[in-house]
Amino acid sequence: MSISLLSVFRHSAHAHRPFEKYYIPPGKAWFQLDKNTGVETFYLLASGDRLNSLETLYERYQSAASQELANEILCEIRKTKKQRRNLKARAERPLSIGGVLRDVGRKIPDVASVAERISATDFYGRTFTIEHK
């Protein structure tokens, strides 16, 4: 197992405003799967404040990748999601995440037309799993 940080928005006093549209990845970019098949798991975490312990673990992982550090990161993600979950939030439904857009030869639609609107007060965490064949 390996862990990669795919996209990050850094905290700053004026970087983000309520009700603005932000895309992950930014702009009109799309994530692409590599040639390695198997189960791919993506964790989307958005927080109004920094997730310092998770950032520290990831920095340690970048300098000395190990299975032990990868497991620590996954435990920290689970712990953070559990601590910050909103029990009053409405249940999420399964999402289509562009899996039908396989043919590179076809015209790829505008990302805004297939984007899912996400709204949260202070924290949002979601896990996406893809069976990459």
In a domain, 89, yes or no: yes
Q: How far apart are CA 40 and CA 33, in angstroms?
A: 9
In a domain, 123, yes or no: yes
In a domain, 64, yes or no: no
pLDDT at 71: 92
In a domain, 66, yes or no: no
pLDDT at 80: 92
In a domain, 29, yes or no: no
In a domain, 121, yes or no: yes
pLDDT at 35: 86
pLDDT at 28: 72
> Which of these, 49, 39, 40, 57, lies nearest to 9 by C-alpha position?
49
Q: How far apart are CA 83 and CA 3, in angstroms?
A: 22
The pLDDT tens digits for 22-73 are 777 777 777 777 888 888 888 888 888 888 899 899 889 888 888 899 999 9
Q: Which domain holds residue 43?
A: 38-49+85-132
Tell which wins on pLDDT, 1 or 121: 121
In a domain, 76, yes or no: no
State how many domains the chain has.
1
Specify the pTM: 0.71
In a domain, 18, yes or no: no
pLDDT at 75: 94
**Phi, psi dihedral angles at 21 (to 5 degrees):** -90, 130
Q: What is the dihedral of CA 47, 53, 59, 62, to 10 degrees?
A: -90
pLDDT at 86: 72
The pLDDT tens digits for 68-118 are 999 999 999 999 998 887 765 555 555 555 555 555 556 667 777 777 777
**Phi, psi dihedral angles at 52 (to 5 degrees):** -55, -45
